[in-house]
């Protein structure tokens, strides 16, 4: 089997490419990445060592895309992944996250490829998510998607609709994975994306942080899933894609792996043995949500899969990776 991973030099894409190669799931694994994310240069080296070729192409460049070889499967992990970029550079988000999917779909039609799409919990309406009062509530695939969700969320949701239209017309087999927060080694966290990795890095290097939004005390709650659990699930999906397809599912760490920023701070203190100054800023972004925990019932039932790594494993693994690579990482995480 020949597989193309778009965004292959990103956090998810690089880990998945190497996982597929090491587990001999595909004979050929190629990556497409324009290396725009900080840290992708470090990942392109990892790919090279694992004999995975990266095509340095912008996903919005349809002509360049159509010159690429034919693949049996495309796993679309390419995105401008920070929700807040929707406010600062909307063109970039639309061209990468929506036009990019459109281009990939055209390639899938030409080559008769299947597609696994990395969507997001951000397809759900911000207003409805903000109304959740019960902190045990789990968000399933039927949650409201009608109201605004950020331009990032809009692009993910619209990409999902495009995939379904293309599948209906051209019989493309697809799986849409709506992920909650993913974390683990090789995530180059920044203020607006990859908060677990950012929190560990700042504690390790005794730098300052801020709780931003809502009460300004770090009360936001998210469920977090380890990248190795994500890779194991995608392998299951690839193995069964001829019989299980045309599917949209929520995937996340679930209730057991849900955590507030405040709790994350105390875990980071224990693991790094450092205590840092955390400022408070109550100004809440239009795009922030106070709470999100995935309902994994559907994915569990279909694939007999559940996340194996707990939250502590995630933080410990990120810390170990950062500790070993501390000097190199200084260039990429600030």
| List of residues contacting ligand NAD (CB under 6 A) | 7, 9-13, 33-37, 40, 58-60, 77-81, 96, 118, 120, 179, 181-182
For ligand NAD, the closer of residues 150 and 265 by Cβ is 150
Judged by beta carbon, residue 7 or residue 254, the one nearer ligand NAD is: 7
Nearest CB to ligand NAD, comparing residues 9 and 138 = 9
What six digits make up the tokens of 50? 């694992």
* Cβ nearer to ligand NAD, comparing 53 with 216: 53
Q: Which is nearer to ligand NAD, 33 or 141 (CB)?
A: 33
Residue nearest to ligand NAD (CB): 10
In the complex, minimum distance from the CB of residue 79 to ligand NAD, in angstroms, rounded to a whole number: 3
252 Cβ partners below 8 Å, 6+ apart? 121, 179, 180, 181, 223, 224, 225, 292, 293, 294, 296, 307
Residue 30 C-beta: closest distance to ligand NAD, Å: 13
Task: Name the minimum Å distance from CB 34 to ligand NAD.
Answer: 4
> Toward ligand NAD, which CB reaches closer, 274 or 325?
325
Question: Minimum distance between the CB of residue 294 and ligand NAD, rounded to whole angstroms?
Answer: 10
* CB of residue 227 to ligand NAD, shortest distance in Å: 8
**Residues shown for the chain:** 334
Q: How far apart are CA 297 and CA 294, in angstroms?
A: 9
Q: Give the CA angle between residues 101, 105, 106 to the nearest 5°.
A: 120
| H-helix or E-strand spanning residue 131 | none
Minimum gap (Å) between residue 237 Cβ and ligand NAD: 14
CB count in 10 Å sphere of residue 70: 11
DSSP letters for 153-184: HHHHHHHHHHHHHHHHHH---EEEEEE-EEE-
Strand locations in the chain (E)? 2-6, 28-32, 53-55, 73-76, 114-120, 174-179, 181-183, 209-212, 221-226, 247-251, 258-260, 278-281, 291-292
């Amino acid at each position: 089997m020949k597989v193309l991973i778009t965004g292959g030099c990103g956090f998810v894409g690089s880990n998945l490419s190497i996982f597929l190669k090491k587990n001999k799931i595909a004979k050929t694994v190629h990556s497409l990445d324009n290396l725009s994310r900080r840290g992708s240069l470090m990942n392109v080296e990892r790919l090279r060592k694992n004999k995975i070729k990266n095509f340095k192409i912008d996903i919005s460049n349809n002509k360049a895309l159509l010159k690429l070889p034919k693949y049996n499967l495309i796993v679309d992990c390419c995105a401008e992944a920070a929700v807040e970029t929707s406010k600062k550079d909307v063109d970039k988000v639309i061209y990468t996250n929506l036009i990019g999917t459109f281009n990939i779909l055209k390639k899938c039609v030409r080559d008769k490829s299947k597609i696994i799409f990395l969507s997001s919990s951000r397809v759900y309406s911000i207003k409805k998510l903000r109304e959740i009062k019960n902190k045990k509530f789990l968000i399933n695939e039927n949650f409201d998607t009608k109201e605004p969700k950020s331009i990032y969320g809009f692009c993910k949701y619209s990409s999902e609709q495009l995939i379904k239209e293309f599948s209906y017309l051209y019989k493309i087999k697809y799986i849409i994975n709506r992920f909650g927060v993913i974390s683990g080694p090789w995530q180059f966290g920044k203020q607006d994306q990859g908060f677990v990795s950012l929190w560990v890095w700042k504690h390790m290097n005794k730098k300052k942080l801020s709780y931003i939004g809502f009460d300004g005390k770090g009360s936001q709650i998210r469920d977090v899933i380890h990248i190795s659990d994500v890779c194991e699930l995608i392998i299951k999906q690839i193995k069964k894609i001829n019989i299980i397809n045309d599917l949209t599912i929520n995937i996340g760490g679930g209730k057991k792996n849900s955590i507030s920023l405040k709790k994350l701070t105390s875990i980071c203190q224990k693991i790094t043995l450092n205590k840092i100054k955390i400022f408070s800023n109550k100004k809440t972004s239009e795009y922030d949500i106070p709470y999100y925990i995935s309902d994994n019932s559907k994915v569990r039932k279909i694939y007999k899969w559940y996340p194996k790594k707990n939250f502590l494993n995630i933080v410990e693994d990120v810390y170990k990776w950062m500790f070993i690579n501390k000097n190199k990482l200084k260039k990429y995480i600030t």
